[in-house]
């Protein structure tokens, strides 16, 4: 069985998230998704609309996702790859090159993002700071 892992905050779940998960699942048989915890997001100066437990439940309900784990820090990726026997690490291409250190342990794939949508843009629109 070929196992895939991806990471993300998955706040304000949208079609871009769904597209990423669908494409990640196509790379293997089993998809593990690490969802950032609230504490980890605070350390990144990110504030989520939905708490970790709700975001994890939403992601877990997606038919492409086989397992959800918490992402608690930047350094856990090597341990996750080893412990979950991961074959492919997948992340959006805006992170291109940042996770190449994982190539020692698994294949690393950077996927293109869905054009025209991002959680940051949605939050800006909702706060009245969006594009005109």
Query: Which of 22, 26, 44, 96 does the annotation list as catalytic?
Result: 44
Question: Is 46 part of the annotated catalytic residue set?
Answer: yes
Residue pair 115/14 in contact (Cβ under 8 Å)? The answer is no
Residue 95 phi, psi (nearest 5): -100, 10
Classified as helix, coil or strand, 26 is coil
Cβ atoms < 10 Å from Cβ of 87: 18
Query: Active-site residues: which are they?
Result: 44, 46
């Amino acid at each position: 069985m070929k196992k895939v892992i991806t990471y993300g905050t998955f706040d304000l779940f949208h079609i871009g998230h769904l597209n990423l998960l669908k494409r990640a699942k196509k790379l293997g048989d089993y998809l593990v998704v690490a969802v950032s915890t609230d504490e980890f997001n605070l350390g990144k100066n990110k504030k989520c609309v939905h708490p970790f437990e709700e975001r994890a439940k939403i992601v877990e309900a997606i038919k492409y996702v086989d397992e959800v784990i918490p992402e608690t820090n930047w350094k856990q990726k090597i341990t996750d790859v080893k412990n979950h026997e991961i074959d492919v690490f997948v992340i959006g291409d805006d992170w291109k090159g940042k996770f190449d250190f994982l190539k020692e342990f698994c294949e690393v794939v950077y996927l293109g993002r869905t054009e025209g949508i991002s959680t940051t843009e949605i939050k800006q629109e909702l706060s009245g700071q969006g594009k005109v």
